[in-house]
Amino acid sequence: MSTYLYRLARFAFLRRRLVLAVWLAAAIAAIAVAQLSGGKTNDTFTIPGTESQNAAAVLQARLPAFSGGQTTIVFAARGTAKVADPALERAIDSAMARVRSIPQVSAVVTPDKSRQISPSGKVALGTVQWSAPAAMVKDASLTALSAAMKPVRAAGVEVEYNGSVYPGWRTVISEVPELIGLIIAFGILMITFGAFAAAGMPILGAIIGVITTLMGITAVASVVSIASASTTVALMLGLSCGIDYGVFILSRHRTNLLNGMTPEESVPVAMGTAGSSVVFAGLTVIIALCGLTVVGIPFLTVMGLAAAASVAVALLIALTLLPAMLGFAGPKIVTFTRLPGLGARTGRVARRSAADPDSTAGARWARFVVRYRVPVLISGIALLGVLAIPALSVHLGLPSGASKPASDTQRKAYDLTTRAFGAGFNGALLVVAQNAGTPAATGQIAAALTRYPGVAKVTPVAAENGISLIRLIPDSGPDDPATAALVHTLRGDRAAIEGQTGANILIGGTTASNIDVSAKLSAALPVFLITVVGLAFILLTFAFRTILVPIKSILGFLLSMAAALGAQVAIFQWGWGQHIFGITPSETISFLPIIMLAIIFGLSSDYEVFVVSRIKEEYTRNGDARRAVQRGTGLSARVVTAAALIMFSIFAAFMFTKDPTIKAIGFSFAAGVFLDAFVVRLTLVPAIMAIAGSRIWYHPKWFSRYVPDPDIEGDRLDRQLAEGELTPAGRT
């Protein structure tokens, strides 16, 4: 592999104008296709095969007017007024009448018809039924709905929205977190490299990759349903991995230049050594993300593939565009800035590191870890274990209006509804009864449902074509465990509810769908973990040609994952970060643990490969296992620290968004990366390897005969260069 990467980098270096032109053309083409396609992401989470989806399919086939998305309009009178006052009632009825003419609206229920007016007379609920699924309701229709409510607002009534679709429901991706992350990343790279060219190059490559990927995702969203979180995850990983991969290769290139190589010699050599680690690191992340396809959940499959595409593009840019840009930069990579103190200090550190690697802060840390390896190992495991304790009480669910910011219309609607009617009115269940299209059968089923504890209200909605639709309001809110228990109870007592009517009932609706999604995700975790860990174990075993290194890597990842999940539960579910981060305590997003497994496992393998490959490189040269741990960790500590801080900063920057889902994702990824890089890979890994000694590199004799050596440390490349098999011109 090192030889192939050497030749690829040599080609990109010499044909740099062509390589740059190809990437710019790809980015421009992706932007053009995205703009023409008109694709948009959405926040609809569904899983085929669940009971809630079966209920939706029955409605689509037999009762299509009630099969689409639904909007709940909350009317709240201000001051001493009441919604039933003649002037306000006329304004509300007139507005709801205008709503009936909006495209895609199939039914409108006014508050007086549904009798959903609070006992105080201050709050009333209206319902808009759409003919299309939530993700397919057009923005123009939602804009028209909002416009229809303007006279009601002008009359002095507060109007807020809830439901599966409503005006402003789409998540708008803010550019602020990316800008914050990029500014911090540039600052870290300036401190690390001390040169504008070196600091800007990885960021420029990552930006080109992210633009290309996100525009491609937008284009695909015109034909495939893509969750908004998919774009955010792809953006996070595209930026962080793109910068990190560039940093690792650039760091080795800079060391080569400081040791006397010319740029033309250094770029291919850096790619053949550090580039091999980048390839295996990138492949591990891609495998982890593609592993999301095995759980059989469409929106997670799309999310994983979108993120994997982002990482793949970042990897390709690091292998092709980066060598081309290094060709344009030439010796400017080691032309340190004249900013007071920064350039001079960084230059001294860089030259000292190149000439005497054992004198750096990273080398001193490595010596400390190796010397006190046993107490360091115990302390690190104890720290991660304590952080993991809250994970034992994790409660999974999908975000409801209760978790939105206080300024969000869904949150306002949720709070108004809860105070006026009860939390259950925010999460109605839909009971679909097949072969029960008569009023008598519908009434019998509704009466049976009313007798169950935890049921606040049961209302028949429609009965035609042999289908009865019944709306059930639970006592508890949509994210309350009691609501999930009620759904399971109703499904378990299906026969008793159906009675002698000959009906077949299904429990559906948005709340039931969210419960089904959470249950399916929980059941998929073990399958996903075994699949991804197994594939990554094979890849890491092939890369390092030993079984013990992959086992150590996986155990370290499990510690990092448990600690990061525990921190997420404490901050977001227990509410420890309520005032610090401006969040409302709520359930842990049901798809977050499985996404964390994919992301943190992939990124932990990144740092594992970067650190251990350098240790193996030193062990191959001197044969002293403990000395190799000290030197390899010391050589990789500075660049791993910079890369981890950059990735941490990009993830943490997303906590400054308003969306609670994005906040939770950003925090979890940031915590996982920080703990894995600094506690596991730069502390526990060298401690374990120092304890194990040369035994860490053990493999059976047959292994070397049947498994090819990928030469991840570049030893074969060094021999080929020394023996003249590869000339400076790159010809063999």
Residue 175 has pLDDT above 80, yes or no: no
| Phi, psi of 455, deg, nearest 5 | -100, 120
Section 523-528 average pLDDT = 84
Q: Supply the pLDDT for residue 16.
A: 93
Cα-to-chain-centroid distance, residue 717: 37
**In CATH, which of 3.40.50.2300, 3.30.70.3420, 3.60.40.10, 1.20.1640.10 is domain 2-39+172-398+515-722?**
1.20.1640.10
For 177-187, the pLDDT digits (tens) are: 778 888 888 88
Q: Supply the pLDDT for residue 237.
A: 85
Cα(2)–Cα(280) distance, integer angstroms = 12
Section 193-218 average pLDDT = 87
Amino acid at 24: L
Residue 53 has pLDDT above 60, yes or no: yes
Closest by Cα among 684, 686, 634, 679 to 361: 634
| Phi, psi of 106, deg, nearest 5 | -105, -25
For 587-643, the pLDDT digits (tens) are: 888 888 888 888 888 778 778 888 888 898 888 888 888 999 999 998 888 888 988
Structure tokens at 216: 């491609």
Residue 730 has pLDDT above 70, yes or no: no
Q: Supply the pLDDT for residue 23.
A: 94
Q: Supply the pLDDT for residue 331.
A: 83
**Does the predicted TM-score (pTM) go above 0.85?**
no
Identify the band that residue 317 occupies on the pLDDT scale cut at 50, 70 and 90: very high
**Do the first three CATH levels of 64-163 and 429-508 match, i.e. the same topology?**
yes
- More confident site: 437 or 467: 467
CATH 3.30.70 fits 429-508, yes or no: yes
For 70-129, the pLDDT digits (tens) are: 999 999 998 889 988 999 999 999 999 999 999 999 989 888 888 889 999 999 999 999
Q: Supply the pLDDT for residue 731.
A: 39
Mean pLDDT for the chain?
85
Q: Supply the pLDDT for residue 44.
A: 62
Contact 7, 192 (CB under 8 A): no
Cα(614)–Cα(715) distance, integer angstroms = 11
Q: Is the C-alpha dihedral spanning 540, 542, 544, 546 positive or negative?
A: positive
Residue 296 has pLDDT above 70, yes or no: yes
Domain ranges of the chain: 2-39+172-398+515-722, 64-163, 429-508
What is the third-level CATH fold of 64-163? Alpha-Beta Plaits (3.30.70)
Residue 320 has pLDDT above 80, yes or no: yes
Q: Supply the pLDDT for residue 349.
A: 59
Question: Which residues pair with residue 157 across a beta bridge?
Answer: 77
Cα(137)–Cα(133) distance, integer angstroms = 6
Section 395-406 average pLDDT = 79
Contact 31, 215 (CB under 8 A): yes
Q: Supply the pLDDT for residue 151.
A: 92
Q: Supply the pLDDT for residue 707.
A: 72
For 337-363, the pLDDT digits (tens) are: 665 555 555 556 556 655 566 777 888
Section 400-416 average pLDDT = 86
Identify the band that residue 285 occupies on the pLDDT scale cut at 50, 70 and 90: confident
Q: Supply the pLDDT for residue 474.
A: 94
Q: What percent of the chain has pLDDT over 90?
A: 33
Q: Which residues of 706-728 are buried (b: 16+ CB within 10 A; e: fewer)?
A: eeeebbbbbbbbbebbeeeebee
Residue 22 has pLDDT above 90, yes or no: yes
Q: How big is the chain, counted in residues? A: 732
Strand bridging mode 429-434 / 157-163: unpaired
| Phi, psi of 128, deg, nearest 5 | -120, 120
